[in-house]
Amino acid sequence: MAAEQKVFVLQQIRFGPDGKLEDFDKAIPDRQWSRNITVNGVFVPTIRIHPGEVQRWRFVHAGVEDNIALALDGHQLHEIAADGLALGRRVDWPAAEPSQEGVRELLLGPGYRSDVLVKAAPLAPGETSKEYFLRDGMLPAALSLQAATAAIRVAQSRAAFNAGDLIADIGNKPQRIIARVLVEGAAREMALPSGEELRDRIPSDLVPIRDEELTDVEQSVRFDGMSRRSCTPDGNCPICQTETSDCKLHFTSNERVFMPEHAPRMLKLGQASKWTITGDGIFPHPFHIHVNPFEVERDEPAQDGKMHRAKLWKDTIILPAGGQPKLIVIRSRYMDYEGEFVMHCHILGHEDMGMMERVKIAK
Ligand SMILES: [Cu+2]
C-alpha cells in the first residue's frame, strides 16, 4: 500500500488578544503574538492515522520569521527529503518525549521544506484511539498557551469549530503544540522503507561536487541586519541612496541594500563554485537561492542515535544566530538554466528591507 500524502503549510499569523489585527504595525513590538502557528490555515488541526500506518507528511515553512523545531510525541519523524530534494537516506529525528540527550528536533527555518514518514504506534488492547501532539520545540510554552487562549476566543465565535475539545486539551498538557495526531481505526501493517531502498531516489544531476569542478569564481555573501554604519545624520545614505529620515535600518547583502539597478552577481553556466556565506550572528538569517540547489553540511541523527555531520542538497540554509558570526560553506553547480533570478534572506521582513541580490547565469 502506498503511503498517504499530507501537506502541512505552516504559517505564523499575528493577531491580538481579541483575535484581530487591524493594524499590522501594532504587531511588531508585541512579540508575544508572532508565534501562532497554523497548519493549512487551521489552529491545532486533528491529523488522523491508523495504527501501524505509514503516512508521508510534507512540511512547508511558509511563516514569516521564527524557526520551528518539529517533533511528534511517541513517534520518530523519518525524514526522506529536504527542500523538495530526496535525501537518498532515512534520517530518524527523535520523538518529542523523552528526548535523548544531545539529539535535537528537526529544524525548519522560514522557506524550508521537509518530507517525513510517520509510522503510527499500535493501540493497546481495548484502546479505540490515542492522541499525540506535534510540537514546536522553539515555541515558548507560555506564549503557546496565550496564543491558544486567543485562538479559542476566535474559535468560540464560529459554530462549526468544536472549541470545547480544544479547551479540554489545553487545560493541562498541550503546550508548544502545532497539531493533534489521532491514531484510530483498524490496524494497517505498513513497513518503512530502509535507507538502502531510498538510496537511488536522489535526482541524477545531484551528484557530489568534486574539488576539480570548482572552476567558477568563489562567491562570498555576508548578511547584516540593522546595519547603520553608512547613514549620516542628515539621512543622506550612500547605501540606499535615499535622503529621507526613514533611512535608519538596513538589512544588507554584502553591505548593500537591494536595488534593482545594481549589477547582478555573475555565475558561469555549466561550472560550479564554492560559496562562503556569513550571517551577522544577531539574527538566524535563512539564506535562500532560486534555481540551483547547493550542497551543504548539517548535523543530523545517525544510526547510533547521536548527531553527526552529513551532506545534503538544499536551497535554503539558516545562518545561525548566537553571538559570533558563523561561516557556512556551500557548493553549487549551475546546470541548464541561463538567466536571472535572486538570492535573499527568507525572513520576509529582512528581504523587504534590502537583504537580497540579483544573480545571473551566463555562458
Ligand atoms: Cu535575515
The Å distance, Cα 285 to ligand 1 centre, comes to 4
pLDDT at residue 30 in the model:
46
In the numeric block, the cell 539529539 is attached to 103
64 vs 359, higher pLDDT: 359
The Å distance, Cα 282 to ligand 1 centre, comes to 9
The Å distance, Cα 328 to ligand 1 centre, comes to 15
pLDDT at residue 102 in the model:
59
The Å distance, Cα 343 to ligand 1 centre, comes to 12
255 vs 58, higher pLDDT: 58
* Judgement on whether residues 172 and 215 belong to the same structural domain of the protein: no
Which of 144, 165, 200 terminates a domain? The answer is: 200
The Å distance, Cα 174 to ligand 1 centre, comes to 31
What is the spatial distance between Cα 235 and Cα 206, in angstroms, rounded to a whole number? Answer: 47
* Judgement on whether residues 38 and 84 belong to the same structural domain of the protein: yes
Instruction: Check: CB of residue 337 under 8 Å from CB of residue 360.
Output: no
Is 334 a member of any domain?
yes
Grid cell for residue 100: 535523548
Burial class from Cβ neighbours inside 10 Å (0-12, 13-18, 19+) for residue 158 reads exposed
Name the nearest CA neighbour of 13 among 27, 1, 2, 26.
Answer: 27
315 phi, psi to nearest 5 deg: -125, 0
Most confident of 84-88, 144-148, 204-208: 84-88
253 vs 27, higher pLDDT: 253
Three-state SS at 149: helix
Rg (CA), the chain: 22
What is the spatial distance between Cα 161 and Cα 157, in angstroms, rounded to a whole number? Answer: 9
Residue 154: pLDDT over 70? no
CA distance to 65, 86, 111, 148, 193, per residue, from 83 (Å): 17, 9, 8, 29, 20
What is the spatial distance between Cα 36 and Cα 189, in angstroms, rounded to a whole number? Answer: 35
Residue 169: pLDDT over 50? no
Grid cell for residue 229: 554604519
Is 205 a member of any domain?
no
Which of 200, 223, 252 terminates a domain? The answer is: 200
**Average model confidence (pLDDT) for the chain?**
83
Please compute the mean of the pLDDT values over residues 224-253 and round it to a whole number. 62
The Å distance, Cα 22 to ligand 1 centre, comes to 26
Is 206 a member of any domain?
no
* Judgement on whether residues 40 and 14 belong to the same structural domain of the protein: yes
Q: How confident is the model at residue 293 (pLDDT cuts 50, 70, 90)?
A: very high
* Judgement on whether residues 34 and 118 belong to the same structural domain of the protein: yes
What is the spatial distance between Cα 250 and Cα 228, in angstroms, rounded to a whole number? Answer: 7
* Judgement on whether residues 251 and 356 belong to the same structural domain of the protein: yes
Q: How confident is the model at residue 264 (pLDDT cuts 50, 70, 90)?
A: very high
* Judgement on whether residues 196 and 259 belong to the same structural domain of the protein: no
Grid cell for residue 146: 496565550
The Å distance, Cα 317 to ligand 1 centre, comes to 11
What is the spatial distance between Cα 89 and Cα 56, in angstroms, rounded to a whole number? Answer: 15
* Judgement on whether residues 150 and 215 belong to the same structural domain of the protein: no
CA–CA–CA angle 7, 139, 149 (5° rounding): 90
pLDDT in tens, 38-88: 899 887 889 999 999 999 999 999 998 888 999 999 999 999 999 999 999
Please compute the mean of the pLDDT values over residues 162-181 and round it to a whole number. 57
The Å distance, Cα 351 to ligand 1 centre, comes to 7
The Å distance, Cα 97 to ligand 1 centre, comes to 31
pLDDT at residue 172 in the model:
38
Q: What is the CATH classification number for the domain harbouring 280?
A: 2.60.40.420
Please compute the mean of the pLDDT values over residues 346-353 and round it to a whole number. 89
301 phi, psi to nearest 5 deg: -70, 135
Residue 97: pLDDT over 80? no
> How much of the chain, in percent, has pLDDT values that exceed 90?
53
Concatenating the DSSP letter of every residue in 70-84 gives EEETTB-EEEEEETT
Which of 155, 172, 200 terminates a domain? The answer is: 200
> How much of the chain, in percent, has pLDDT values that exceed 70?
75
30 vs 187, higher pLDDT: 187
pLDDT at residue 98 in the model:
56
* Judgement on whether residues 165 and 231 belong to the same structural domain of the protein: no
Is 65 a member of any domain?
yes
Residue 157: pLDDT over 70? no
Grid cell for residue 309: 555531520
What is the spatial distance between Cα 274 and Cα 192, in angstroms, rounded to a whole number? Answer: 36
* Judgement on whether residues 270 and 135 belong to the same structural domain of the protein: no
H or E segment to which residue 37 belongs: strand 36-39
What is the spatial distance between Cα 45 and Cα 180, in angstroms, rounded to a whole number? Answer: 6
Instruction: Check: CB of residue 90 under 8 Å from CB of residue 78.
Output: yes
Please compute the mean of the pLDDT values over residues 287-291 and round it to a whole number. 97
pLDDT at residue 352 in the model:
87
Is 147 a member of any domain?
yes
Burial class from Cβ neighbours inside 10 Å (0-12, 13-18, 19+) for residue 58 reads middle
* Judgement on whether residues 221 and 194 belong to the same structural domain of the protein: no
H or E segment to which residue 147 belongs: helix 141-156
pLDDT at residue 141 in the model:
58
Please compute the mean of the pLDDT values over residues 322-329 and round it to a whole number. 84
Is 252 a member of any domain?
yes
Residue 179: pLDDT over 60? yes
The Å distance, Cα 102 to ligand 1 centre, comes to 27
Pure H helices in 232-346 = none
Domain that holds residue 260: 211-362
Q: How confident is the model at residue 255 (pLDDT cuts 50, 70, 90)?
A: confident
What is the spatial distance between Cα 11 and Cα 136, in angstroms, rounded to a whole number? Answer: 13
pLDDT in tens, 39-53: 998 878 899 999 999
Is 254 a member of any domain?
yes
CA distance to 227, 230, 260, 351, per residue, from 243 (Å): 17, 12, 18, 21
Three-state SS at 329: strand
Is 15 a member of any domain?
yes
The Å distance, Cα 255 to ligand 1 centre, comes to 13
Q: How confident is the model at residue 171 (pLDDT cuts 50, 70, 90)?
A: very low
* Judgement on whether residues 117 and 45 belong to the same structural domain of the protein: yes
pLDDT at residue 178 in the model:
86
Domains of the chain: total: 2
> Sheet holding 129-136: strands in order across?
46-49, 177-184, 129-136, 68-72, 106-108
Q: Who surrounds ion ligand 1 at CB < 5 A?
A: 285, 345, 347, 350
